[in-house]
A and B are shown apart, each in its own frame.
Chain A
Amino acid sequence: MATRKIVINPVTRVEGHGKVTIHLDEEGHIGQTRFHITEFRGFERFVQGRLYWEAPVIVERLCGICPVSHHLAASKAMDVIAGAEKITPTAEKMRRLMHYGQTYQSHALHFFHLCSPDLLFGFDAPVEKRNVFGVIEAYPDVAKKAVLMRKFGQEVIKATGGKKVHGTGSIPGGVNKNLSKEEADELKRDADTMVDWAVEALELCKKIVNADAKRLLEFGTFESNFVSIVAEDGCMDLYDGNLRAIDADGKIIFDQVKPADYLDYIREEVRPWSYMKFPFIYPLGKEKGWYRVGPLARLNCATYIDSPIAEKERKEFMALGNGRPIHSSLAYHWARLIELIHSAEKIRELLADPDLQRDELVVTGKKKNSAVAWLEAPRGTLFHHYEVDDNDQITMANLIVSTTNNNEPMNQVVKKVAEQYLDRKKITEGLLNHIEVGIRAYDPCLSCATHALGRMPLIVQLFDHHDDLIDERVRG
């Protein structure tokens, strides 16, 4: 078999630096596929020795897309350290508002800027067209709304956190500001429009999916367990709650697990070829315990959603599964947009709440030395675990970020897509982009997952059965 080498340049529209290798067997069939994360992690070490109240402001620097998630997860952990068993209603609502603002902008960013070029132009469309500038040219109204939706989410973050990116609003035991009447009124002006536009985005997504439902919903599909946080009554809750896991049939594996008990249920495996760990449901073991998180997992795990439009859409979406969870990788986009609506509805609801103008911002209590907290970041469940000594210095940090939870699923989607589209076929730009489309459905943030800095290209390599490199493409 002649050795061939093809270089893709660039591979784009995921947050981070990864490498995909596809190994062929002797017959040229797909053997092993791996989604390598080659960045080095560091933040868990950086925070060691730092004072615990600094953590929310240090760890948010992991990422520029969803710093609010890290800011809030660390704050929630530090609430425990500071002895704040229950923060004030104003503090919780300010944090929730910040969180929904972030989910709104992040989901809008992902759908319009990263994913919509594939859906609007087709996976095989020429790369010079299949990008955000192509969307701006062909669908100027959609692109304009996308920019304004992100802007709205960022304005919500600024009003609650002090800055659009890397704010300081959430502190151990509460928040450092409330929302003035003027700030609330300013945001309220656009709140209805943002709900309407989120609904429009979902309608656009559904229209595209329904036009080619069989192909799209089968694309990169595999069965798995799902994990997410839910409220005590099973309601979707992006900010707080306990952990629920379901299996591929929707049966509960565990439910209402509290943060402090997470190690009894979730463990991480290290594999030598990737810096990103592989979490798994501990009672099920490494082989069967891997799971998916994120919008699709949240929709599958939740009993209901407590905002009317999103709940109506959830019911329609779940009907696709005929009583079972939805397993399609591309259904992540659909689920993400239901959450986009939910976030907009919750922002609108919170902006009308007078508690946001109250002055009870911070509580403290008896200090503790260990804390685990979590929330549902845009990309999935985010775990923060800290140990703090008697001098208030952090001695240990373990961050299991959303993308890390989806590590094995992204390996699975690469394998699935490679089997569906690359096996013994001519390698084209569009075909290799299918792999990216599969990974992109999970909206991975590789800089978050490994806490890295710097340039972040994605490399796709194809190996024959002698492990000789026969194809390689690099983008970034």
Chain B
Amino acid sequence: MSQETVTFTLDGVKVKATKGQTIMEAADAAGIYIPRLCWHKDLPSGGNCRICTVMVNGRPAGSCLFPVEDGIVVENNTKQLKDHRCQVVEMHFIEGNHYCPSCEASGECELQALGYYTQMLTPTSPYLRPKYEVDASHPDVYIDRDRCILCGRCIRASEFLDGKCVFSFEGRGIHKRISVNAEHNLGETNMEASDRAATICPTGALMIKRTGYRIPVGKRRFDIHPIGWDIEKKKKSG
């Protein structure tokens, strides 16, 4: 059975897509980058971070979840949306404790890269400076909740890729946090360093131990190309 093709408008440009694709998937295929944090190519969409919100026929929708339909009009690269994304990124920095200068994820961190991408400058709201303890109880992996943005990638990776359910969300609102499937800490779970969940965090919240700073400055992922470059190059290369 041949796949049904639909056509929709993205920032004024007609884009062909396959029915069933999300707006983000169709935009990626067309070489148009829509910023995202909680989305990962190997995971089902979570719709948690809201960075990828676009306007569909004038109404906001998460592009990682919303399926393309024939004739819809999607806005992505507008001043309003760019401002909103910058503000969402800024709120992540305010709600956590993100010390980029000494963070071992620096240069590899998608949140930091989005800070640059959205041209976030000095935060416009006061830092909340929550107090968290590092969970280093596991011999090979540690959790630094200061850096957690509650994207849920580790939860989905553990469940769908590792078949383990090591992580889940706990609490509501500002008290929401990543918890582990154990009485006390990560060291009591069946987590292993080889789990996909161990390397899927977009920030430095879930890290493999004793590997920090191995990549020199200048060779790190976002030292070389800005975030979204891999998608946008498809468009440039035609």
A3 on the B face (CB < 8 A)? no
* A residues neighboring B (CB under 8 Å): 49-51, 53-54, 56-58, 61, 82, 161-163, 166-169, 171-172, 176-177, 362, 364, 391-393
The CA-CA distance from A261 to B212 in the complex, in Å, is 30
| 17 intermolecular pairs with C-beta atoms under 8 Å apart | A49-B133, A50-B134, A51-B134, A51-B136, A51-B142, A53-B213, A58-B102, A162-B218, A167-B217, A168-B216, A169-B216, A171-B214, A176-B213, A391-B142, A392-B142, A392-B209, A393-B136
The interface residues of chain B lying within 8 Å CB-to-CB of A58 are 102
What is the minimal beta-carbon distance from B208 to any residue of chain A, in angstroms? 11
Contact status B101-A54, CB under 8 Å: no
Check B136–A171 contact: CB distance below 8 A. no
Q: Which of B142, B187, B212, B216 is in CB contact (< 8 Å) with A162? A: B216
A177 touches B216 (CB 8 A): yes
Interface centre among B101, B102, B104, B209, by most A CB within 10 Å? B102
User: A393 and B134 in contact (CB under 8 A), knowing A53-B104, A163-B217?
Assistant: yes
| Chain A CB within 8 A of B41 CB | no
Smallest beta-carbon distance A14→chain B, Å:
25
With contact pairs A54-B102, A57-B102, A169-B216 given, residues A391 and B136 touching in the complex (Cβ less than 8 Å)? yes
Interface residue from B133, B142, B213 paired with A168 (Cβ < 8 Å): B213
Residues of A within 8 A of B212 (CB): 51, 53-54, 171
- Bound-complex Cα distance A53 to B209 (A): 9
Cα distance A57–B103 when bound, in Å? 8
Min CB–CB distance B119 → chain A (angstroms): 22
Question: A162 contacts which chain B residues (CB < 8 A)?
Answer: 216-218
> Is B210 located at the chain interface by the 8 A CB criterion?
yes
Which B residues lie within 8 Å of A82 (CB)?
A: 210
Using CB atoms, name the residue of chain A closest to B211: A53
**Shortest distance from the beta carbon of A45 to any chain B beta carbon, whole Å:** 14
Whether A391 pairs with B137 at a CB distance below 8 angstroms is: yes
| Residue in contact with A49 in the complex, picked from B134, B214, B216, CB distance below 8 Å | B134
| Closest B residue to A393 using CB positions | B136
* The residue from A54, A177, A392, A393 contacting B104, defined by CB atoms under 8 A apart: A54
Closest A residue to B107 by CB, please name it. A168
- How far does the Cβ of B182 sit from chain A's closest Cβ, in whole Å? 15
A200 to chain B, nearest CB (A): 33
B217 neighbours in A (Cβ, 8 Å): 161-163, 167-169
Asked if B134 and A53 make an inter-chain contact with CB atoms under 8 angstroms apart, the answer reads no
**Distance, CA A49 to CA B102, complexed state (A):** 14
Q: Does B215 count as interface, using CB distance less than 8 angstroms?
A: yes
Q: Mark B128-160, 1 if CB is under 8 A from A, else 0.
A: 000001101100001000000000000000000
From B101, B187, B216, B218, contact of A166 by CB (8 A)? B101
For A56, the chain B residues whose CB sits under 8 A away are 213
Query: With the chains together, A49 CA to B133 CA distance in Å?
Result: 8
CA distance A57 to B105 in the complex (A): 12
- A61 to chain B: which residues have CB within 8 Å? 101-102
CB distance from A54 to the nearest CB of B (A): 6
Q: What is the minimal beta-carbon distance from A373 to any residue of chain B, in angstroms?
A: 17
Residues of A within 8 A of B137 (CB): 391
Known: A53-B213, A57-B104, A392-B210. 7 other contacts (CB 8 A): A51-B142, A51-B209, A56-B213, A162-B216, A176-B215, A177-B216, A364-B210
Q: With the chains together, A58 CA to B187 CA distance in Å?
A: 25
When A and B form their complex, which 7 residue pairs have the shortest distance between CB atoms, in order from nearest?
A: A162-B217, A391-B136, A177-B216, A58-B102, A176-B216, A168-B213, A53-B212
How far is A364 from B215 in the complex, measured between Cα atoms in Å? Answer: 17
Min distance, Cβ B189 to any Cβ of chain A, angstroms: 15
Q: How far is the CB of A436 from chain B (nearest CB, A)?
A: 32
Smallest Cβ distance from A367 to chain B, in angstroms? 9
Q: List which B213-233 residues lie within 8 A (CB) of chain A.
A: 213-219
Q: Which residues of B contact A53 (CB under 8 A)?
A: 104, 210, 212-213
B120 → chain A closest CB, angstroms: 21
* Interface residue from A50, A171, A391, A393 paired with B213 (Cβ < 8 Å): A171
Chain B residues in 8 Å Cβ range of A177: 216, 219
Roughly how many angstroms separate A161 CA and B213 CA in the complex, as a whole number?
A: 11
With A and B bound together, what is the CA distance between A364 and B209 in angstroms?
A: 13
Report Cα–Cα, A267/B215, bound state, in Å.
38
Query: Across the interface, which residues of A come within 8 angstroms of B136, CB to CB?
Result: 51, 391-393
Interface centre among A161, A168, A177, A393 (most CB of B within 10 A): A168
| Residues in B neighbouring A167, C-beta threshold 8 A | 217
Nearest Cβ distance between residue B65 and chain A, in whole angstroms?
A: 36
**Shortest Cβ distance from residue A279 to the other chain B in the assembled complex, whole angstroms:** 27
Q: A47 CB to closest chain B CB, in angstroms?
A: 10
Point out the residues of chain A lying under 8 angstroms from B210, CB to CB. 53, 82, 172, 364, 392
B137, B187, B212, B218, most chain A CB atoms within 10 A:
B212
Query: Nearest chain B CB to A357's CB is how many angstroms away?
Result: 15
Per the bound structure, the CA–CA distance linking A51 and B142 in Å amounts to 9
Docked pose: A307 CA to B133 CA in angstroms: 49
B101 neighbours in A (Cβ, 8 Å)? 57, 61, 166
CB of A52 to closest CB in B, whole Å: 9
